[in-house]
Chain A
């Protein structure tokens, strides 16, 4: 059977599907073309609270389509995000001409179904926070017009086993057009989530994609300390598809700019800014980004989706690799000394190793 394809496009998280008029795949246009848009997500962590900001971009088309995003905990608040937080972070980590800085500065002067925990509407987005297992969330989605792609059952279980909290976002393209939203306009959503340690869902970005399709995303982290991450994008052996694009103390100007945006007064006076770039084939993106912002340097295997639920092997940990290399370095001289000793004993005047 076949159903007509409807344009699906958005940034942040993923776009799953929607309405009976929509095909299974997430990012499929009416002509079958795949719209691969770069997504941008911000996860700030301060005083035990994760501030998750992502943007849903209107890319044209008709009807409704939607997205499901797994969350590390129950949000206490879901509101429209600030107007410039994501753009300001991009600007901070992307070299731009001086003139562009001036433009920004001017704008920045002001810029059994699952249990429903929270419902709200932000512009043309209908947001629902759900609690439930993979099946429950899948059923809720089906009952509410979402048409999930074939990998959804496994992916929903992947997340529900660790955190049974999801955000479902239904985007009404017709309403967006009526509101005057132009193609490319984004609707930022800001979730406030108390949690021990933040993690950022990455595997969900590959939902509905074929194995060879490319997932591109930028993840910005703002933490009190330099975070340890798993997978480590800066590991000695690297992690395919992940790159550490920026890691430095956040500038006072950046923090001030962020703090001046709506809902961002929590931004501390000092913080560490990290940008992780994702450019991976969907088949390889089978993990999330675990973050230890405590300074202990021990991001959780479980938060990354590697254990005990993850299907992917644990990537090499850079610390462990260094320990192994150090061990090898120390053992080489010992081995050499042993060989010299053995050779000396077996040589002239020495005791024969065997025979006579």
Chain B
């Protein structure tokens, strides 16, 4: 997203930030939990909206018997992953690999409003339609 930056942290970082900023979120806004289900190699939730500055927990449910990825970031981030070589993701909270029929949780804080995409970059999966849009208000 142009002019905005994705603040990807681990859950521990989220908690630290929460303490540092007086619960670490925009005043009056509660943490958000969203579920994204993957079925037949499609994100069932393709248009999501979250507020900026609050922890957002994504529950990623892979209902398929094949592997998928959930990678969220700006255009440059996705361009890197289209030609990337990592076989498995997991070290960063905005890069999640899902084994067959696996459910994973990850928590992120988006510090600025904007629009970013989440995509599965396994071969042919993006072309097959595994793309979703996250709007940060």
Contacts and interface: CB of A to CB of B under 8 A. Distances in A.
A2 B127 CA distance: 14
A24 B126 CA distance: 12
Nearest to A143: B100
- Interface residues of chain B: helix, strand, loop or mixed (majority): loop
B84 A2 contact: yes
A55 to B, nearest CB: 26
A1 B101 contact: no
Given A24-B124, A154-B41, A138 B100 contact: yes
Interface of A: 1-3, 20, 23-25, 134-139, 141-142, 147-154, 156-157, 208, 210
Contact of B124 (A25, A135, A139, A156): A25
A210 B128 CA distance: 8
Contact of B65 (A3, A20, A134): A134
A69 B125 CA distance: 22
A150 B65 contact: no
Contacts of B66: 138, 142, 147-148, 150, 152-153
Interface of B: 39-41, 64-67, 69, 81-89, 100-101, 121-125, 127-128, 130
Nearest to B84: A1
12 contacts: A1-B85, A1-B87, A20-B87, A135-B64, A137-B65, A138-B64, A138-B100, A150-B41, A150-B125, A151-B41, A151-B128, A152-B41
Contacts of B85: 1-3
A7 B81 CA distance: 23
Given A1-B86, A3-B85, 6 more contacts: A1-B121, A2-B82, A2-B83, A138-B64, A139-B65, A148-B65
A208 B40 contact: no
Contacts of B64: 135, 138, 153
B67 to A, nearest CB: 7
B13 to A, nearest CB: 24
Given A2-B123, A3-B123, A24-B125, A135 B41 contact: no
Given A2-B85, A148-B66, A156-B65, A24 B122 contact: yes
A135 B100 CA distance: 9
B123 A142 contact: no
A1 B69 contact: yes
Nearest to B39: A153
